[in-house]
Structure 1
Amino acid sequence: MVESAVVVGTGLIGTSIALALHQRGVDVALSDRDPAALRLACDLGAGRPLAQEQTEPADVAVVAVPPGAVPAVLRDAQRRGLARVYTDVASVKSSVVRRVAELGCDLTSYVPGHPMGGRERQGPGAARADLFLGRSWALCPAAGTDPAAVKTVTLLAELCGADPLVVDEAAHDRAVALVSHAPHAVSAAVAASLLDGDATALALAGQGVRDMTRIAGGDVGLWREILGHNAGPVAAVLERVAADLAAAAAALRSGDPGVVEDLLERGRAGHARVPGKRGAGPTPDDAVLSVVIPDEPGALGRLFAAAAEAGVNVEDVRIDHSPGLPLGVAQLSVVPEARDRLARALTEGGWSVHR
């Protein structure tokens, strides 16, 4: 059972964990060196301030601070006896675990963790109780970790709606370099190229460049630290990506379409491997309906309500805003067999639908 928890660090991840646990009836105590962040997290309903003197250790303590700060914060938490079991949320594991051991922390009660959820925004104000819903949550216990501690942190992840996955710390770092850390650097590189764009180019920016550069808006200091802690694996991925791009650039200049086509085909194949709603591997392509919506409060809610009345589940949605106009286009993804039914229902309801 996880009936009580301490969350040290009330940023995006820590506050989101606290909100999720609090909604499940867990007694959550919060701590942060920034009084304003702590106060906001408490006001949001994430928990109560941690008392100076703990009369009873919590079931679990979550260290939700940047990677470089985890070892010292964990050592302090264990010295204070804040909990029976400890975990962290750092997105890098090998360097953190190595330093934790050097500081003499109790490794039997510590389960290194990493919830695979986040946003480009930071701070408790960006936190959401559903941030980890359906997301993977990596657990990297050592050989000497108490199995009971692993069970406790597994339950913690499940209470947050995540899918726990036990993985070796080195394998974890290689994996996140591929699926998280290097993509962030690539997104930053694409976004940085926009600094050379003139007003005409930026006026033509569409959803594609927004999708590509969204994560580049993340906290620079945090990401500098993350990339530095996972430098080797990230560098290896970036070198492979850079080689592909350099080959494509050379092929474009020489007029060789084969190299470019090969990159595009491999890109499609790689994209198809990304797990989706219906599981890992390739999934049937959803049908997409484009619906014009006014840029006003409640418009999206009315659209979803109309889809619900038609008995159609919206698998995904993307909104393209029209610069300078009070409207946008909602791209609704539905299973192919429901497309025509939804199109008819929305059209009859007065919506402007385009296939």
Structure 2
Amino acid sequence: MRSAAVVGTGLIGTSIALALRGRGVTTYLIDTDPEAARTAAELGAGIAERPRQPVELAVIAVPPQYVAAALREHQLADLAEDFTDAASVKELPQREAARTGCDLTRFVGGHPMGGREQSGPLAARDDLFHGRPWVLTPSPESRAQTLARAEELAGLCGARPVVMCQAEHDRAVALTSHAPHVVSSLLAGRLLHGEPSQLGLAGQGLADVTRLAGGSAELWTDILGSNAPAVADVLAEFTRDLHQVVDALRGLGSAREPEQRRAHADRLSTALVRGIQGRARIPARGTSTTAAPGLGPALATAPRGV
């Protein structure tokens, strides 16, 4: 790839642009906030202006609710031959793109699975996606060239392209990203009720668990709202588990008989063991993604362009 454009110079867009520039790709930076684009350019992410002729690939790096509108605008303006995006929700932007008349043959949805709790171009890193999955969700209309260029983009950024369907992606990120953000935020919100003497005892464990809560509330409201049904399903199941733990703790606090205490302790221990087992299933950074039985369409890694 010799030329690209990045629309949206926040954390993700600027990180993509930095990676592309590091691989010698001429990269143009476009943002509704000219100052953000200039800041990204000063960091070495590219040229803060529109190209004079279409680039090979444009990356729409804006929040989910704006993807379809930005895609249509820049397709009509002939910004690029092919387009992808970087939003963390895939079904809703795809439906909106179809509804608004975007050229879906030249578009492949994308989601680089990397990020930080900070936002904005100054938080960007050229290695943000190294060794991480980069999900691509081509539609039946997507042409082969567009998918190939999206795969090449992922490889240039040091990521591993992973092809999956839009609905499967949204269910996956609801479990692995979106619901954890809500849980982290709710726990952090409880700290508003803590006394200074209590908060003075906080250690690294609390900082680790609440780290995600530092993300932009505006951005995360958009992300969660765009994937609301899938996130609600995960949180509903989490709520049932939480109620069981609360019941066990209440029982431990009130039980008088040893057998009753053992029963409640067993329920609590079971929840903790399940946590250990679940955490052990998180793949180590840089390992390949493999499909689990019954998950549906391919989770095929395609290391093209690495």
- Per the normalisation by structure 2, the TM-score is 0.89
In the alignment, the residues of structure 1 paired with residue 278 and residue 195 of structure 2 have an alpha-carbon distance, to the nearest angstrom, of: 33
Q: Which amino acid aligns with 2:271?
A: L
Structure 1 residue 242: Cα displacement: 1.0
Partner of 1:20: 19
In the alignment, the residues of structure 2 paired with residue 274 and residue 154 of structure 1 have an alpha-carbon distance, to the nearest angstrom, of: 24
Partner of 2:268: 260
Partner of 1:289: none
Map of 1:102-141 to 2, 5 A cutoff? 102-141=99-138
In the alignment, the residues of structure 1 paired with residue 158 and residue 267 of structure 2 have an alpha-carbon distance, to the nearest angstrom, of: 43
In the alignment, the residues of structure 1 paired with residue 34 and residue 6 of structure 2 have an alpha-carbon distance, to the nearest angstrom, of: 14
Matched, 1:11 2:40: no
Q: How big is each residue's C-alpha offset from its partner over 1:109-147, in whole Å with a ceiling of 9 and x where there is no partner?
A: 100001111111110000000010111110000112101
Secondary structure class of the residue paired with 2:141: coil
Matched, 1:148 2:145: yes
Partner of 1:227: 224
Matched, 1:212 2:220: no
Runs of 4+ in 1 over 6 A off after TM superposition: none
Q: Which has the larger radius of gyration?
A: 1
Matched, 1:80 2:80: no
Conservation of the 8 A alpha-carbon contact between 1:4 and 1:26: yes
Structure 2: any 5+ residue segments left out of the alignment? 253-263, 290-306
In the alignment, the residues of structure 1 paired with residue 231 and residue 174 of structure 2 have an alpha-carbon distance, to the nearest angstrom, of: 5
Map of 1:338-353 to 2, 5 A cutoff? none
Conservation of the 8 A alpha-carbon contact between 1:17 and 1:160: yes
Map of 1:254-333 to 2, 5 A cutoff? 254-255=251-252, 256-277=264-285, 279=287
Q: 1:164 aligns with which of 152, 161, 164?
A: 161
Query: Which protein, 1 or 2, shows the higher relative CO under an 8 Å CA cutoff with sep ≥ 6?
Result: 2
Partner of 1:344: none
Q: 2:56 aligns with which of 54, 59, 62?
A: 59
Conservation of the 8 A alpha-carbon contact between 1:6 and 1:50: no
Q: How big is each residue's C-alpha offset from its partner over 1:134-175, in whole Å with a ceiling of 9 and x where there is no partner?
A: 111100001121011101100000100011100100000000
Conservation of the 8 A alpha-carbon contact between 1:116 and 1:138: yes
In the alignment, the residues of structure 2 paired with residue 24 and residue 228 of structure 1 have an alpha-carbon distance, to the nearest angstrom, of: 35
Structure 1 residue 280: Cα displacement: 6.8
Name the count of aligned residue pairs: 278
Matched, 1:38 2:37: yes
Partner of 2:301: none
Q: How big is each residue's C-alpha offset from its partner over 1:167-222, in whole Å with a ceiling of 9 and x where there is no partner?
A: 10000000000000000000001101111111121111111110000010000011
Matched, 1:178 2:175: yes
Conservation of the 8 A alpha-carbon contact between 2:9 and 2:29: yes
In the alignment, the residues of structure 2 paired with residue 201 and residue 276 of structure 1 have an alpha-carbon distance, to the nearest angstrom, of: 35
Partner of 2:237: 240
Structure 1: any 5+ residue segments left out of the alignment? 282-355
Q: How big is each residue's C-alpha offset from its partner over 1:217-265, in whole Å with a ceiling of 9 and x where there is no partner?
A: 0000110111111111100110111111111011111121111111111
Conservation of the 8 A alpha-carbon contact between 2:132 and 2:286: no
In the alignment, the residues of structure 2 paired with residue 280 and residue 165 of structure 1 have an alpha-carbon distance, to the nearest angstrom, of: 9
Structure 1 residue 50: Cα displacement: 2.1
In the alignment, the residues of structure 2 paired with residue 65 and residue 44 of structure 1 have an alpha-carbon distance, to the nearest angstrom, of: 19
Matched, 1:188 2:185: yes
Q: How big is each residue's C-alpha offset from its partner over 1:38-91, in whole Å with a ceiling of 9 and x where there is no partner?
A: 11001000000223xx43210100001111111111001101111111000111
Matched, 1:199 2:199: no
In the alignment, the residues of structure 2 paired with residue 210 and residue 55 of structure 1 have an alpha-carbon distance, to the nearest angstrom, of: 47
- Per the normalisation by structure 1, the TM-score is 0.77
In the alignment, the residues of structure 1 paired with residue 152 and residue 88 of structure 2 have an alpha-carbon distance, to the nearest angstrom, of: 20
In the alignment, the residues of structure 2 paired with residue 198 and residue 242 of structure 1 have an alpha-carbon distance, to the nearest angstrom, of: 26
Conservation of the 8 A alpha-carbon contact between 2:98 and 2:104: yes
In the alignment, the residues of structure 2 paired with residue 216 and residue 277 of structure 1 have an alpha-carbon distance, to the nearest angstrom, of: 22
In the alignment, the residues of structure 1 paired with residue 127 and residue 286 of structure 2 have an alpha-carbon distance, to the nearest angstrom, of: 19
In the alignment, the residues of structure 2 paired with residue 90 and residue 220 of structure 1 have an alpha-carbon distance, to the nearest angstrom, of: 16
Partner of 1:297: none
Secondary structure class of the residue paired with 1:49: coil
Q: Which amino acid aligns with 1:237?
A: V
> Equivalent pairs: percent with the same residue?
51
Pair 1:214–1:8, CA change in 2 (3 A): same
In the alignment, the residues of structure 2 paired with residue 11 and residue 210 of structure 1 have an alpha-carbon distance, to the nearest angstrom, of: 24
